[in-house]
Amino acid sequence: MKKNAILVINCGSSSLKFSLINPECGEIIISGIAERLSSPSACITTKYQGDKGQQPLSPPYAHKAAISELVGILSKHQLVEQVCAIGHRVVHGGEDYSQPTLITDDVKQTIVKLSKLAPLHNPANLIGIEACQKVFSQLPQMAIFDTAFHQTMPDTAYIYGIPYSMYQKHSIRKYGFHGTSHYFVATQAAKMLNRPLSDCNIITAHLGNGCSVTAVSQGKSVDSSMGFTPLEGVMMGSRSGSIDPGIIFHLIDQLGYSADEVNKLLNKESGLLGVSGLSNDCRTLEQAMLEEKHPQAKLALDVFSYQIAKSIASLSASLNQLDGIVFTGGIGENSSYVREQVTSYLSLLNIKIDTEKNASTRFGQSGNIGQENSRPCWVIPTNEEWVIAQQSYQLLNKE
């Protein structure tokens, strides 16, 4: 049996997603998710050769239990022997990591140090790393950072208009996120242009539950809408995106909010959910808009689309040339309504979409939905797991 598959792990605070991937062709051998971790209802769902299976996790129902169960599942299907390395998605690499990195004790310490920049994500990523190290002690483990792709941004893009000492002393700067997704779809767009990525200038819009827009110049990220945290930029499923910072002082000083309450309001109760008062889910909002003529569902989708268009237009300032734009993520790949609304504001960039192509490009299809005389406007399904597998495999072969 060939030992050339990468086990990709994406560990959150209460879930752990995994896929075993052939890094050369992107084939997913087995995939699954352990959910509701640390609660008695924790379970693991797997997809293997078209069949879905689910089983409960044993106490204490946490990440270690999920990894042990995963080993059992891989053994049952005789897949353990195929795994040559483990690639972990790690959200924050700060300024320390701009490349895929072999995980050592020093690297783990740096991930801990960077937890102050990503308190919800890095500690969970580390739990996944340590659980895998215990069980797969013989295998190399790699960290692929969400921020790494954006480390090429110039200081004009990443410095905020606040005292410079905040950057020097406290690392407060723009980092950008969703790096593997922006990199992947930019690579695919370059293939469609039949040019090397290093020759392409593209704006990529990753629109899922989290949303970010990135300008990619000659293959490198030069600016992105998310910032110091994934809260900045366009509004998202339940995150506000950028707002006047004065609102925060108003909430605290005039309306009696605590810092925790402001945090919850902006991260969990805003965005599509907050404006619609209905849901953070684009599908639900589209349905409510069409079937019930729900005015706030429409308003939420329209504010969202306008903000994305403004973000694309403003990021075009960082490019000398624009070869096309890309929509990806659950909303970008599927919502013809959002794509139509976004592009309706972009005629100055010569982006005009073909209504029929727009309506028919969804559910995992990719293609250029632009009119013939328009700049290309691609829909490209993202595949962050494959990037993690490819980069881990390349690093393994370099070591």
Q: For 7-73, what is the HEC assignment?
A: EEEEECCCCEEEEEECCCCCCEEEEEEEECCCCCCCEEEEEECCEEEEEECCCCCCHHHHHHHHHHH
Residues that bind ligand AMP (CB under 6 A): 208-209, 237, 281-283, 286, 329-331, 334-335
Please name which of 263, 359, 342, 267 lies closest in space to residue 302, comparing C-alpha atoms: 342
The position carrying tokens 């349905």 is: 287
Q: Which is nearer to ligand AMP, 3 or 283 (CB)?
A: 283
E-strand spans in 124-190?
A: 141-145
Q: Which is nearer to ligand AMP, 335 or 390 (CB)?
A: 335
The sign one gets for the Cα dihedral 287, 268, 166, 180 is: negative
Shortest Cβ distance from residue 73 to ligand AMP (Å)? 23
Shortest Cβ distance from residue 282 to ligand AMP (Å)? 4
List of residues 6+ apart from 122 with CB closer than 8 A: 90, 91, 92, 111, 112, 114, 115
Shortest Cβ distance from residue 302 to ligand AMP (Å)? 15
Please name which of 85, 21, 29 lies closest in space to residue 383, comparing C-alpha atoms: 21
Whole-number Cα distances in Å, 138 to 8, 11, 142, 281: 16, 20, 13, 41
Shortest Cβ distance from residue 95 to ligand AMP (Å)? 27
The position carrying tokens 């995980």 is: 103
Shortest Cβ distance from residue 36 to ligand AMP (Å)? 18
Q: Which residue is nearest to ligand AMP (CB)?
A: 330
Separation of alpha carbons 302 and 272, rounded Å:
10
Q: Which is nearer to ligand AMP, 111 or 325 (CB)?
A: 325
Q: Which is nearer to ligand AMP, 221 or 334 (CB)?
A: 334
Cβ 87 vs Cβ 144: under 8 Å: yes
DSSP 294-352: -HHHHHHHHHHHHHHHHHHHHHGGG-S---EEEEEHHHHHH-HHHHHHHHHT-GGGT--
Among the listed residues 146, 223, 244, 253, the single catalytic one is 146
Q: Which is nearer to ligand AMP, 94 or 329 (CB)?
A: 329
What are the tokens at 385?
């797991």
323 is catalytic: no
Shortest Cβ distance from residue 239 to ligand AMP (Å)? 12
Q: Which is nearer to ligand AMP, 227 or 237 (CB)?
A: 237
Residue type, 313: A
Cβ 117 vs Cβ 176: under 8 Å: no
Shortest Cβ distance from residue 180 to ligand AMP (Å)? 13
Q: Which is nearer to ligand AMP, 85 or 211 (CB)?
A: 211
Please name which of 229, 237, 222, 245 lies closest in space to residue 317, comparing C-alpha atoms: 222
Catalytic residues: 146
